[in-house]
């Protein structure tokens, strides 16, 4: 008996959650039903696909190999469904978009402008960190992501669509606010409120300091730009954030952008998707919309 797509779907869920119990809950099946389907799949393969590691299960070598094919088959099934949906007309399509938390400061404006053109489009939006973005795109859990430059070696394609300058921010009472010019060396002893180590902002900042022969002093570590802004306003240190995240604080004069030598750090926002991915009409329309109109839509923010 050949294996079924249902068995591969159950197998992928167990592999993702490392648990028969969790997989059964996610798939709305009973645990015995999940166990039976995995057993039948293992009988077809002729080798065990999982091994018990404490309270969880882990993939065997055969399981890891099969998971690669299972993900490819799932992607092709999704693309087939999208193709059939596309035949129903572009207005009724769906877009699953995943973005970095920093992009959440401007992406709703893009989505609103896009919805104005395609009011019946269904949009699912997820916000996560950099590692979550890479995982979602690589494993085809989303159509595309809005993030900084994607890492190499993950079969991802990134197309830049807008500048993402990183600037130094300070509380209005900070001594450096009234100093001109501010040299990079003047920041050498300043404590910084920084993002987590895996953040694209953090990596770009550390790379920038290293290229200039300086060491970034991490006074505190936060996993959200909002938390960094609050800490800087509380005079706990300086911060380096995307200019897109501080529009309101600058208008209310709660934060100040320091005019520091060689700043801002020049980065770009990218539309990122899996190499070879075939888009249905709505995702393709959104990609084209962002690449062609993002800077126009967000002009007030960029000024």
Average pLDDT by consecutive 10-residue portion of the chain (303 residues)? Answer: 82 92 89 90 90 90 90 83 63 84 88 89 90 90 91 87 93 90 88 87 90 88 90 94 91 93 92 89 91 76 48
Q: What is the pLDDT of residue 89?
A: 57
Q: What CA–CA distance (Å, rounded) separates 278 from 111? A: 21
- Predicted confidence (pLDDT) per residue in 151-183, tens digit: 887 789 999 999 999 999 999 999 999 887 899
Give the model confidence (pLDDT) of 108-162 as tens digits. Answer: 989 999 998 888 888 999 998 888 999 999 888 999 999 988 888 778 999 999 9
Quote the pLDDT of residue 87. Answer: 57
| Interatomic CA distance for residues 185 and 188, integer angstroms | 5
Exposure class string for 216-232: b at 16+ Cβ within 10 A, else e: bebeeebeebeebbbbb
Note the pLDDT of residue 225: 87
Structure tokens at 181: 């010019």
pLDDT at 268: 92
Same fold, 5-73 and 88-163+268-302: no
**Beta sheet of 256-258, edge-to-edge order:** 218-222, 192-195, 238-242, 166-170, 256-258
Which class would CATH give 88-163+268-302? alpha beta
The structural domains of the chain, with segments of one domain joined by +, span 5-73, 88-163+268-302, 166-258
Predicted pLDDT of residue 111? 92
Per-residue pLDDT, 150: 84
Structure confidence at residue 303 (pLDDT): 47
Tell me if the domain spanning 5-73 has CATH number 3.30.460.80. no
Q: Which CATH class is domain 166-258?
A: alpha beta
- How far, in Å, CA of 17 to CA of 28, rounded? 14
By C-alpha distance, which of 58, 54, 73 is closest to 9? Answer: 73
């Amino acid at each position: 008996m050949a294996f079924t797509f249902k068995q591969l779907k159950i197998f992928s869920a167990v592999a993702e959650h490392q648990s028969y119990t969790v997989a059964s809950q996610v798939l709305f099946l009973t645990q015995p039903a999940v166990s039976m389907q995995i057993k039948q799949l293992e009988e077809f393969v002729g080798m065990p696909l999982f091994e018990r590691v404490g309270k969880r299960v882990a993939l065997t070598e055969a399981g890891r190999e099969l998971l690669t094919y299972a993900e490819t088959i799932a992607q092709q099934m999704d693309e087939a469904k999208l193709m059939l949906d596309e035949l129903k007309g572009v207005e009724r399509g769906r877009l699953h978009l995943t973005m970095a938390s920093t992009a959440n400061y401007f992406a709703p404006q893009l989505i609103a402008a896009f919805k104005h053109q395609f009011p019946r489009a269904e949009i699912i939006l997820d916000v996560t960190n950099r590692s979550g973005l890479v995982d979602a795109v690589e494993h085809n859990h989303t159509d595309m992501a809005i993030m900084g430059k994607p890492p190499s070696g993950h079969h991802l394609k990134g197309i830049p669509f807008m500048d993402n300058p990183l600037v130094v921010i300070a509380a209005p009472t900070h001594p450096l606010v009234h100093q001109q010019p501010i040299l990079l060396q003047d920041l050498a002893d300043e404590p910084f409120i920084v993002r987590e180590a895996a953040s694209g902002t953090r990596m770009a900042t550390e790379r920038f300091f290293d290229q200039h022969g300086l060491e970034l002093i991490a006074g505190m570590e936060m996993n959200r730009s909002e938390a960094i802004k609050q800490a800087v306003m509380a005079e706990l240190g300086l911060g380096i954030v995307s200019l897109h995240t501080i529009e309101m604080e600058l208008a209310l004069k709660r934060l100040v952008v320091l005019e520091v030598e060689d700043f801002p750090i020049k980065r770009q926002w990218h539309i990122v998707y899996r190499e070879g991915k075939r888009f249905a009409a709505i995702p393709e329309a959104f990609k084209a919309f962002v690449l062609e109109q993002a800077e126009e839509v967000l002009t007030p923010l960029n000024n």
